Amino acid sequence: MNYTLNQLQIYLKVVQTMSITKAAEELNLTQPAVSIQIKNFQAQFEIPLIEIIGKKIYVTDFGAEIAKSAEGIIDQVYAINYKTMAFKDQLLGRLKVSVVSTGKYVLPYFLTDFLNHNQGVEISIDVTNREKVFHSLENNEVDFSLISTDINSPLYDHIDILENELYLVGNPVTASLNPKFAFQEFNKELPLIFRENGSGTRKIMETYLKKQGIHSLKKLELMSNEAVKQAVMAGLGYSIMPMIGIKNELKNGQLAIINRSGLPIVTTWKLIWHKEKNPSPVAKAFMAHIIEKKEEIKKKHFE
């Protein structure tokens, strides 16, 4: 056997994503480079690790066992690296954060300086919806979560980070054809475009419509904010979306804000954690970083 650590990492990522393309994207490699490394890795075993049937990847029982071993080896390498950093008196460890989908536009700005000053820290970010974010907190899978809706539970503590403004938006041409914009017209014309059940943005949108006395509407449901944005830009309908995810499209004239009573809706981005969780040194350091630097970061990147 003459496989490399790089081959183990690539193989494990392919197994985790069940896709050569997704593995290549997450590893910042080309798809051919990943395919070659998988081929070279497979050549060292007489038993198949994965099978490709109809362009879909299936991991064999033997391949699953190898993936478990690969994960253990990689964890041991991380442990060696952490011990090296510890002898240098540097902060080390992993920080795990789950964020709602629009949180991906917020969190990186609060991470950059922290990671630059603590190069022994590794970060794992899971981008999902509100329901799954709370599931990850309840199951102690993450250190923190980033949400923009109310918590409504005594189990969690939080730090307020940033205001989140949501506006009604549409394709500029489509919006110009309906300047009065009566919500009641949606059963006849274009639909309102919603996120899936479990999404915080959907919950905010439904609460707003209920306050306006609007109940029965023609709806289109999509699974991500990016999909909603693309659908609105294409003129398929209207939606209520966070400003932070649509700034460029507004500047470019691909989207238009439609002013209506009760808008914009203003919520707050919150970094939250389970009160019973014992934070690691890395988690404590990141919390201190947020408290110390949040005003500076807001002024620099979000005003």
Return the CATH number at 22: 1.10.10.10
Same domain flag for 122 and 173? no
Same domain flag for 35 and 45? yes
Question: Which of 86, 107, 139 is a domain's end point?
Answer: 86
pLDDT score for 82: 66
Report the alpha-carbon distance of residue 52 to residue 287 in Å, rounded: 44
Q: How many domains does the chain have?
A: 3
Phi, psi of 93 (to 5 degrees): 140, -175
Same domain flag for 293 and 172? no
pLDDT score for 122: 87
Residue 85, classified by CB atoms within 10 Å of its CB into exposed (0-12), middle (13-18) or buried (19+), is middle
**Residue numbers of the domain that contains 156:** 91-163+268-301
Confidence of residue 86 (pLDDT cuts 50, 70, 90): low
pLDDT per residue over 177-233, tens digit each?
666 666 655 545 678 899 988 898 999 999 998 888 877 667 889 988 899 999 999
Asked if 231 contacts 241 with a C-beta cutoff of 8 angstroms, the reply is: no
Residue 73, pLDDT > 60, answer yes
Same domain flag for 226 and 134? no
Same domain flag for 284 and 157? yes
pLDDT score for 216: 62
The enclosing H or E element of 50 equals strand 50-53
Report the alpha-carbon distance of residue 226 to residue 249 in Å, rounded: 12
Same domain flag for 236 and 157? no
Same domain flag for 33 and 168? no
**pTM exceeding 0.85:** no
Asked if 71 contacts 12 with a C-beta cutoff of 8 angstroms, the reply is: yes
Question: Which of 43, 64, 86 is a domain's end point?
Answer: 86
Same domain flag for 239 and 125? no
Same domain flag for 54 and 173? no
Collapsed DSSP state (helix, strand, coil) of residue 140: coil
Confidence of residue 27 (pLDDT cuts 50, 70, 90): confident
pLDDT score for 185: 56
Judge if the upstream peptide bond of residue 264 is cis by omega within 30 degrees of 0: yes
- The bridge status of strand 144-147 relative to strand 92-100 is parallel
Same domain flag for 280 and 154? yes
Same domain flag for 17 and 101? no
pLDDT score for 179: 61
Which range (2-16, 56-70, 141-155, 212-226) has the least confidence? 212-226
CATH number at residue 230: 3.40.190.10
> Does residue 292 or residue 184 have the better pLDDT?
292
User: Which tokens belong to 194?
Assistant: 């919603």
- The bridge status of strand 156-170 relative to strand 256-257 is antiparallel
Query: 229-254 burial, b if ≥16 CB within 10 A, otherwise e?
Result: bebbbeebbbbbbbbbbbeebeeeeb
Same domain flag for 35 and 176? no
Question: Which of 86, 113, 142 is a domain's end point?
Answer: 86
